[in-house]
Amino acid sequence: MSADRLNRIEQKLRESLSPSELELQDESHLHAGHAGARDGRGHFRVSIVSERFDGVSRLKRHRLVYDALGPEMQRDIHALAIEAFTPQEWDARSQA
């Protein structure tokens, strides 16, 4: 997986959602031979913390992430596992 692809994904998330925390992992190596991997698209996991998620349902948070990635979802990403938190949820999780 190219660093350029990860950088593009991260940049789009930062520009659209202004996260205070962002962790993006390429898990494509775990899915070698899988249908999405054969066509060159990757498997990723993202943990993201943004004030944009405040008062927003889990489904809408995921849609915000997908919208932020736009064409990357069709071109570079086969699967994306998303953990999306508000800053308050992130702080509570860190203290637990």
Report the b/e string of 76-95 with b at 16+ CB within 10 A: bbbebeeebbbeeebeeeee
pLDDT value at residue 57:
98
In tens, the pLDDT along 59-88 reads 999 999 999 999 988 888 888 999 999 999
In tens, the pLDDT along 31-52 reads 566 665 556 678 899 999 999 9
State the CATH class of domain 3-95: alpha beta
The token duo for 1 is 């997986």
pLDDT value at residue 55:
97
pLDDT value at residue 1:
45
Residue in this structure with the two tokens 């959602």, named with its chain if needed: 17
| End-to-end Cα spacing for the chain | 34
The reported pTM is 0.86
Q: Where are the domains of the chain?
A: 3-95
pLDDT value at residue 74:
86
Alpha-carbon distance of 49 to 20, in angstroms, equals 6
